Homo-oligomer: A and B are copies of this chain.
Amino acid sequence: MELTDRKRQILKVVVEDYIRTAEPVGSKAIAEQMGGSVSSATIRNELSDLVDLGYLEQPHTSAGRIPSPKGYRLYVNELMERQKLSILETEKINEALHGKMEQLDHLLSQAGRAISSFVNYPAYVAATGRKNLTARRFDLLAVDEHSCIVVMMMGDNRVKSQLLRLQLKVDLEQMPTLVNLLNSHFTGVPTAEMNKRLMSVAEEISPQLFLLLSQTIAYAVDVLEEAGQREIITAGASQLLKLPEFRNADKAHELMNFLSESKENLPMPDDGPMQILIGPENVTDALKDTSVVVASYDIGDNMRGLIGVVGPTRMNYATVAARLSGFAEGLTRLFEKQELPPKEEPKK
């Protein structure tokens, strides 16, 4: 049996109607929406074929049809009309993204909330940590006898600093020595190796200095490892409760719990600018009957982040895809403009 043009057109109507109403679609309604050029009986024959082909499903014998995952897939790949964002929408997106880069966390959670309320589904945002981030430069600023400030610039040019309280008094004149040591021995060094280095210089310096040095390194390791972690932020989970497929509190609870407790398992594909995962295409059990649309954005030149939307399989793919990629582009632009690196660490 062949998938004729008319069958495809019918499938399209079914998918779009079902997305809109969440109700099985009947032959009569389809006939009307196709302009009355064919009768409902004809449609019924076609529908029956589409079920046999696996593109549609029938909740029970005498109900209308709903798309199967395979049907959604065909729709997404071939039938769906790509939407463009209206100027108004583009403006709204840009408005929503007017955060300050400084606080990456805030910006991203803000973006998450914005996209979620923009598509009316829960959303997630991930900034991929930079695994092998190293320190590029250290400074120590003496404050008083008992404390000094450690300043560390990282490979991505972000600067972190903290007040350190000294267990032992340190001679101010020795500070420069220490800074030199830090900059010569601990820049460009992966965190895993830092402690080894620390040991190796132990004998060269006084115990007081060594104590301060190890405090500094401990701080550096903390910060670098923290920066290396991938952070995932979810927003708008409560949007689910508006959807008929989640009126059942148990279903809703399962998914919402997943969104807040097991974020790590959200899809993080690493190819292509946008990916759509429909129902069972998701690896994670909790997402087996939901769909996920996920897009990537660039952070500077060589890092990528992801933003995604989670919804029912009858998600409005066209709109979500358009808006999501709008956001992704917005974020990319944002990072282009604001990202700090004037020059990257010359790697060779």
Give the B-binding residues of A (Cβ under 8 A): 100, 102-103, 105, 137, 139, 141, 143, 146-147, 149, 151, 153, 157-163, 165, 222-223, 226, 235-238, 241-242, 246-247, 249-250, 252-253, 256-257, 259-260, 340, 342
Kindly state the separation between the CA atoms of A250 and B250 in the bound complex, as whole angstroms.
14
| A151 touches which of B161, B236, B260 (Cβ 8 Å) | B161
Task: Determine the chain B residues whose CB is within 8 A of the CB of A247 once the complex forms.
Answer: 249
* A146 contact from B162, B260, B342, Cβ within 8 A: B342
**Distance A149 CA – B153 CA, assembled complex (angstroms):** 9
How long is the Cα–Cα vector from A143 to B253 in the complex, in angstroms? 51
A159–B105 alpha-carbon span in the complex (Å): 18
Which of chain B's residues have a CB closer than 8 A to the CB of A257? 238
CB-based contact B237/A238 at 8 Å: yes
Extra contacts besides A153-B163, A161-B161 (11): CB < 8 Å: A102-B223, A139-B149, A149-B159, A159-B161, A160-B161, A238-B252, A238-B256, A238-B259, A246-B249, A247-B249, A249-B252
Give which listed residue, B102, B103, B259, B342, contacts A147 with CB less than 8 A.
B342
Known: A151-B141, A163-B157, A163-B340. A238 touches B222 (CB 8 A): no
Tell me whether B241 and A162 are in contact (CB under 8 A). no
- 6 shortest A-B CB distances, which residue pairs? A238-B256, A241-B253, A161-B161, A159-B161, A247-B249, A241-B249
Q: Please, how many angstroms separate the alpha-carbon atoms of A102 and B257 in the complex? A: 28
Instruction: Give the residue name and chain of the B residue nearest to A116 (CB).
Output: B260
Q: A295 vs B238: C-alpha distance in the bound complex, in angstroms?
A: 26
Q: Using Cβ atoms and an 8 Å threshold, which residues of chain B touch A260?
A: 235-238
Chain B, Cβ-Cβ closest to A236: B260
Determine the residue in chain B with the shortest Cβ distance to A150: B159
Which residues of chain B are near A141, meaning CB under 8 Å?
A: 139, 151
Contacts of A237 in B (CB 8 A): 237-238, 256, 260
Docked complex Cα distance between A222 and B235 (Å): 25
B-side contacts of A223, CB under 8 Å: 102
Please, how many angstroms separate the alpha-carbon atoms of A259 and B241 in the complex?
Answer: 14
A-B contact pairs, 28 of them (CB 8 A): A100-B222, A102-B162, A103-B226, A146-B342, A147-B342, A149-B159, A151-B161, A157-B163, A158-B163, A159-B163, A161-B161, A163-B340, A165-B340, A165-B342, A235-B260, A236-B260, A237-B237, A237-B256, A237-B260, A238-B253, A238-B257, A238-B259, A238-B260, A246-B249, A247-B249, A249-B249, A249-B252, A252-B252
Q: Nearest chain B CB to A215's CB is how many angstroms away?
A: 13
Whether A151 lies near B149 (C-beta < 8 A) is yes
